[in-house]
Amino acid sequence: MIQSQGYAAQQSTTPLAPFSFTRRDPKERDVVVEIEYCGVCHSDIHSTRNEWGNAIYPMVPGHEIIGRVTAIGSGVSRFKAGDRVGVGVIVDSCRTCASCRNNEEQYCEVGVTLTYGAYDRYGELTQGGYSNNIVVDEHFVHAISTKLDPAGVAPLLCAGITTYSPLRHWQVGPGKKVGVVGLGGLGHMGLKFAHSFGAHVVQFTTSESKIADAKRLGADEVVISKNADAMKKEANSFDFILDTVSAVHDLNAYLSLLKRDGVYCQVGLPDRPPVINMGNLLFKRRSLSGSIIGGMAETQQMLDYCADHNIVSDVEIIPIQRINEAFERVVKADVKYRFVIDMASLGKR
Ligand SMILES: [Zn+2]
Ligand SMILES: [Zn+2]
């Protein structure tokens, strides 16, 4: 067994605290990664606090993992010791269902194995990236260019692919008018990608204070969503709107902004269902859709695109000793735009 150190929640009401545990010795196709950085995703907070009702403890969260390969199994072909690599939200899937065979492992019909808080095919509880190492099948490990700042790359493994995949699926690019709702960890990546793909991008926000930042990140226009007149001016004009907000909010005000055949895609996951005025869909043949992360091939494609176009997340680096304070600040949306843990802090006080 491999010895691991990390920070875990022991139950839903306790703060994260130091925790020692073991991981499996590498099997034939496994890669052992020494973790350098791990992003702090809002899911980590929902999960450790059992806000989705399916938590298994003790739980070491973290699924935006960057590190270096330290060992490989005998059958590993894509990586060698010393390579910089990334691990995201899932670490296994069935590999044989229609979705897996179509490189859409995230929609595996048998069910994916989450990077933390799930039982894997060996019956072991998975533990995430708020730790010094991880053992993962190479199919779920990504090559990371050393051209980019590794701390800024970490959030690409969840926030990046979550926004990149739907923008690609619905072919956002030149000549398209695209809206991004919410400017947080997900939203700021959606904005960067939509801008980079050549679309005309409109950022929606509730806060005047975010206008300058949205423009810096690539918005052509910023609309304050509380301003009914400003919203009305945008009616029937969008090809695609990416909604990154996970708090319950009114979708109808946005649906009416889509053109005929426009698509509204939800990537935030509110904990209560929205009320939809079906007229907003029927009368313009609009679609309401959703999307979650991306397949392994597409995730690699996204990482390569980011290396070619010099795209990383805007991050605030913290030592792991400040993780509980960082959770509180994420809940208050007080971060620009992602906390990333420097895992070198783990052995320090
Ligand atoms: Zn995430
Ligand atoms: Zn499958």
**Three-class SS string for 9-66?**
ECCCCCCCEEEEEEECCCCCCEEEEEEEEEEECHHHHHHHCCCCCCCCCCECCCCCEE
CB 235 within 8 A of CB 215: no
Pick from 24, 25, 21, 26: nearest CA to 9 = 21
Ligand whose nearest atom lies closest to the CA of 102: 2
Taking the C-alpha atoms of residue 269 and residue 332, their distance in angstroms, rounded to an integer, is: 17
Per-residue pLDDT tens over the stretch 273-291: 899 999 999 999 999 999 9
Ligand whose nearest atom lies closest to the CA of 89: 1
pTM of the model: 0.96
Q: What is the side-by-side strand order in the sheet with 287-290?
A: 221-224, 200-205, 177-181, 238-243, 258-266, 287-290
Query: How much distance in Å is there from the Cα of 64 to the middle of ligand 1?
Result: 7
Tokens of 285: 């043949």
pLDDT for residue 269: 85
Ligand whose nearest atom lies closest to the CA of 159: 1
**Beta-bridge partner residues of 131:** 6
Tokens of 42: 């809002």
Query: How much distance in Å is there from the Cα of 179 to the middle of ligand 2?
Result: 32
Task: Please list, in sequence order, all residues whose beta carbon lies within 8 angstroms of the beta carbon of residue 131, skipping any fewer than 6 positions away.
Answer: 4, 5, 6, 7, 35, 38, 60, 62, 343, 346
Taking the C-alpha atoms of residue 216 and residue 73, their distance in angstroms, rounded to an integer, is: 44
Query: How much distance in Å is there from the Cα of 134 to the middle of ligand 1?
Result: 17
Per-residue pLDDT tens over the stretch 111-152: 999 999 999 999 999 999 999 999 999 999 999 999 999 999
For range 28-50, the mean pLDDT: 97
Query: How much distance in Å is there from the Cα of 113 to the middle of ligand 1?
Result: 14
Residue type for position 13: T
Task: Please give the mean pLDDT across all residues of the chain.
Answer: 96
> What confidence tier does 272 reach under pLDDT thresholds 50, 70, 90?
confident
Ligand whose nearest atom lies closest to the CA of 267: 1
Taking the C-alpha atoms of residue 144 and residue 164, their distance in angstroms, rounded to an integer, is: 17
Ligand whose nearest atom lies closest to the CA of 95: 2
Tokens of 322: 């400040």
* Cα pseudo-dihedral 260, 265, 269, 273, rounded to 10: 20
Q: State yes or no: pLDDT of 271 exceeds 90.
A: no
Q: What percent of the chain is modeled with pLDDT above 90?
A: 95
> What confidence tier does 171 reach under pLDDT thresholds 50, 70, 90?
very high
Task: Please list, in sequence order, all residues whose beta carbon lies within 8 angstroms of the beta carbon of residue 119, skipping any fewer than 6 positions away.
Answer: 56, 113, 125, 126
Task: Please list, in sequence order, all residues whose beta carbon lies within 8 angstroms of the beta carbon of residue 317, skipping any fewer than 6 positions away.
Answer: 37, 151, 339, 340, 341, 342
Taking the C-alpha atoms of residue 313 and residue 188, their distance in angstroms, rounded to an integer, is: 8
Q: State yes or no: pLDDT of 349 exceeds 80.
A: no
